[in-house]
């Protein structure tokens, strides 16, 4: 029993020591003392209670102290609780101080909380970044397409990082400027001979206004000749005109066929009326016989005239061929 009691006491002591060392970070306090950072042990304990990792604050304070910067632990804690990156801000302040860039703690934390990498921005201010634009296709005034790839050298503008547009806006504006420059050229040959004319025109437009970057240079990396867009458009227009003309001709042909069919229908109607009128002739003759208006001699005279007319019509017609393909000779 005595041995088990001793073991229990030892375990309790070890657990209590671990809890104490976690609540009271003595090692961090010793680091602060050795590096001349003014953070008391009570402050470190309060950081634990406020759910702020003391290691992050202590390391940031030590780095800033060694770099000659005077930062407050309360400001670093506030920035951490606001969702910022403490070490990134401290590194940015150290780099800006070494590069003689005017950057205070308030501006650095504002840039960091805005979602931008403030340390990368300081590095871009010292070492400009080269951004390749995607392939930009534009058409010159003579209808020849040119495909251009440019390289834009940009430098971060610290004052415009909060609220300024990003790289996507820069690339979009540069592409628009390239299209405008090529489109205003009289010939694609002029652009091929003077590619720097594109850079000069694009730079003169002030494309970096309202952005978080400053454009240092625009270099044309490659120019390729594409399709003859003007000729293609003319071919498409000619094809469209041909289709329209064919449609109109088809419409006129359909109208002519409709008129022809209408005339045939009218001719059939007139022929039917003639046949109907001829059918009424015998009835009229019978009525004339009954009324005494037509005698038997008059009837025979009319038949003789009709026979004579038929004979003359048969004589006037050309000779017909027989069924055995023999021609009747006169």
* Mean of pLDDT values over 28-49: 73
Residue 317 is assigned to a structural domain of this protein: no
What local confidence, expressed as pLDDT, does residue 136 receive? 84
Q: What is the CATH number of the domain that holds 199?
A: 3.30.479.30
* Mean of pLDDT values over 48-70: 81
**Statement to judge: residues 121 and 142 lie in one domain:** no
Among 102, 36, 27, which residue's Cα sits nearest to residue 64? 36
What local confidence, expressed as pLDDT, does residue 19 receive? 62
Confidence of residue 58 (pLDDT cuts 50, 70, 90): confident
| DSSP for residue 134 | P
Structure confidence by residue, pLDDT tens digits, 247-283: 888 888 889 898 888 888 888 888 888 888 877 777 7
Rounded distance, CA 302 to CA 284, Å?
A: 14
Structure confidence by residue, pLDDT tens digits, 156-170: 888 777 777 778 888
**Statement to judge: residues 17 and 121 lie in one domain:** yes
Residue 273 is assigned to a structural domain of this protein: no
Least confident of 20-34, 87-101, 218-232, 234-248: 20-34
Residue 237 is assigned to a structural domain of this protein: no
What local confidence, expressed as pLDDT, does residue 279 receive? 78
Handedness of CA 166, 172, 173, 175 (dihedral sign): positive
Residue 323 has pLDDT above 50, yes or no: no
**Statement to judge: residues 162 and 62 lie in one domain:** no
- Single residue among 229, 256, 291 that ends a domain in this structure: 229
DSSP string, 157-222: -GGGTTT-B-HHHHHHHHHHHHHHHHHHSS-HHHHHH-THHHHHHHHTT-TTTTBSEEEEEEEEEE
What local confidence, expressed as pLDDT, does residue 321 receive? 47
**Statement to judge: residues 91 and 136 lie in one domain:** no
For residue 120, what are its two tokens?
A: 């990368």
**Statement to judge: residues 119 and 203 lie in one domain:** no
Rounded distance, CA 115 to CA 163, Å?
A: 11
Residue 233 has pLDDT above 80, yes or no: no
**Statement to judge: residues 181 and 88 lie in one domain:** no
Residue 269 is assigned to a structural domain of this protein: no
Residue 92 is assigned to a structural domain of this protein: yes
Residue 220 is assigned to a structural domain of this protein: yes
Structure confidence by residue, pLDDT tens digits, 94-132: 888 888 888 888 888 888 888 888 888 888 888 888 888
Most confident of 11-15, 177-181, 207-211: 177-181
Structure confidence by residue, pLDDT tens digits, 184-212: 887 778 878 787 888 888 877 777 778 88
What local confidence, expressed as pLDDT, does residue 181 receive? 84
Tell how strand 136-139 and strand 213-228 pair up. Answer: unpaired
What local confidence, expressed as pLDDT, does residue 17 receive? 60
Residue 283 is assigned to a structural domain of this protein: no
What local confidence, expressed as pLDDT, does residue 202 receive? 80
Residue 12 has pLDDT above 70, yes or no: no
Length of the chain as a residue count: 330
* Mean of pLDDT values over 301-325: 70
**Statement to judge: residues 142 and 122 lie in one domain:** no
Handedness of CA 27, 29, 31, 33 (dihedral sign): negative
pTM above 0.75, yes or no: no
What local confidence, expressed as pLDDT, does residue 319 receive? 57
Number of structural domains found in the chain = 2
CA angle 147, 222, 189 (to 5 degrees): 65
- Single residue among 182, 205, 229 that ends a domain in this structure: 229
**Statement to judge: residues 78 and 134 lie in one domain:** no
Range of the domain at 67: 8-126
**Statement to judge: residues 44 and 72 lie in one domain:** yes
List, in sequence order, the alpha helices (H) in the chain.
2-23, 26-35, 41-49, 54-66, 73-81, 86-98, 105-113, 118-126, 167-184, 188-193, 196-203, 229-291, 296-316
Residue 103 is assigned to a structural domain of this protein: yes
- Single residue among 208, 229, 250 that ends a domain in this structure: 229
């Amino acid at each position: 029993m005595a041995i088990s009691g001793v073991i229990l006491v030892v375990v309790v002591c070890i657990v209590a020591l671990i809890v104490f060392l976690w609540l009271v970070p003595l090692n961090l306090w010793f680091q602060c003392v050795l590096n001349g950072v003014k953070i008391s042990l009570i402050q470190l304990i309060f950081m634990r209670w406020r759910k702020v990792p003391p290691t992050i604050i202590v390391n940031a304070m030590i780095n800033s102290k060694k770099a000659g910067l005077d930062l407050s632990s309360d400001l670093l804690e506030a920035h951490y609780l606001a969702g910022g990156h403490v070490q990134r801000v401290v590194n940015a302040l150290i780099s800006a101080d070494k590069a003689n860039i005017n950057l205070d703690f308030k501006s650095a934390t504002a840039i960091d909380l805005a979602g931008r990498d403030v340390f990368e921005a300081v590095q871009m201010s010292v070492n400009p970044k080269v951004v390749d634009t995607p392939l930009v296709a534009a058409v010159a005034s003579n209808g020849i397409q040119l495909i251009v790839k440019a390289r834009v050298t940009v430098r971060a503008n610290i004052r415009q990082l909060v609220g300024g547009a990003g790289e996507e806006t820069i690339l979009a504006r540069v592409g628009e400027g390239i299209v405008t420059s090529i489109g205003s050229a009289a010939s694609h040959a002029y652009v091929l001979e003077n590619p720097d004319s594109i850079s000069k025109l694009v730079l003169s437009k002030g494309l970096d206004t309202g952005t978080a970057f400053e454009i240092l240079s625009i270099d044309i990396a490659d120019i390729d000749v594409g399709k003859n867009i003007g000729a293609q458009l003319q071919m498409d227009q000619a094809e469209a005109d041909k289709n329209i003309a064919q449609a109109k001709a088809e419409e006129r042909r359909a109208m002519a066929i409709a008129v022809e069919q209408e005339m045939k229908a009218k001719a059939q109607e007139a022929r039917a009326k003639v046949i109907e009128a001829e059918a009424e002739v015998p009835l009229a003759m019978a009525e004339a016989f009954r009324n005494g208006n037509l005698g038997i001699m008059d009837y025979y005279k009319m038949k003789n005239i009709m026979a004579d007319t038929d004979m003359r019509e048969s004589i006037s017609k050309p000779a017909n061929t027989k069924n055995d393909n023999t021609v009747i000779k006169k």
